[in-house]
Amino acid sequence: MKIGFIGLGIMGRPMAKNLVAAGYSLVVFDKFAGMDDLVALGAERGSSNRDVASKSDIIITMLPNSPHVKEAILGKDGALEGILQAKRKDVIVVDMSSIAPAVSQEVAAALKEHGIAMLDAPVSGGEPKAIDGTLAIMVGGERDIFEKVQPILGKLGASVTLVGPIGAGNVTKLANQIIVALNIAAVSEAFTLSTKAGVDPQSVFMAIKGGLAGSTVMNAKVPMMLEGNFKPGFRIDLHIKDLANALDTAHALGVPIPLTANVMETLQGLRTAGQGGSDHSAILLHYEKLSKVEVRKRS
């Protein structure tokens, strides 16, 4: 069995490396990023999305947003062309990108017309968990197809959960991204307050992280905030993309999500200020600016 992997960005590259390390045969392609490191590990270099698909039994895509996924799979020189050209049977497409649920359903329907199965399987955990293979993977699609690829996904994530039909994976991811964004904003607000009041933020962190306010988000992001380290594990630009998809989906369903809209404006302001490439923990900078205080460890 050969796996085609399309999209070698911050998340896709370490994920592909983990599959190679697990002993899978890979053919890889990225329109903009280099492939030399993966080829050196034993992966085959693909020349296009179509080329990758023509050689693969399982095709994984890990791309920035909905238009990129549609282009890579359904567009000119896309994966669908490669599958049909090679007359491959029983191919499964697994889109691990975080995109609009409606687009997952649209792409899946187009593939189904040709007898090609698809899962949407977005992930949570950022670059660190992509590197160590402990992502949380939320999957939408048919159970029998899910069971065929579950062992592969298990090499990429610590949890792999079928949450419903196609599109349900990305609905779950949107819920995840709303909670993460609001959690980071709440942490930023709280630590700005405590710092302004003259209480050591490191001490506050140690005191509350084991209580009800504690969370994976707090444990991951507060140490970065206290160090002033906003090197991206998950960029603000990408979180804006996810919240835009969340707002669009919510509006289509008639679901008000006012807190999400509020934090979206905070992220948009940070991007305007040149922080779009920073980690989403840089939400702290917005609150520091408003309160005229700097949250850092104190010696």
What CATH number does residue 156 fall under?
3.40.50.720
For residue 26, being part of any structural domain is answered with yes
Instruction: State whether 159 and 193 are in the same domain.
Output: no
Instruction: State whether 145 and 233 are in the same domain.
Output: no
Strand, coil or helix: 186: helix
Among 146, 166, 186, residue at a domain's last position: 166
Q: What percent of the chain has a predicted confidence (pLDDT) above 70?
A: 99
Number of domains in the chain: 2
What kind and span of H or E run contains 27? strand 25-29
Active site residues: 173
pLDDT of residue 163: 98
Q: What percent of the chain has a predicted confidence (pLDDT) above 90?
A: 94
Instruction: State whether 76 and 188 are in the same domain.
Output: no
For residue 299, being part of any structural domain is answered with no
Q: In this predicted model, what pLDDT tens digit does every residue of 91-150 receive, in sequence order? A: 999 999 999 999 999 999 999 999 999 999 999 988 889 999 999 999 999 999 999 999
- Is 50 exceeded by the pLDDT of residue 299? no
pLDDT of residue 67: 95
Among 115, 136, 166, residue at a domain's last position: 166
What CATH number does residue 213 fall under?
1.10.1040.10
- Is 90 exceeded by the pLDDT of residue 162? yes
- Domain containing residue 197: 172-291
Neighbours of 15 (CB within 10 A): 24
Instruction: State whether 209 and 71 are in the same domain.
Output: no
Instruction: State whether 190 and 65 are in the same domain.
Output: no
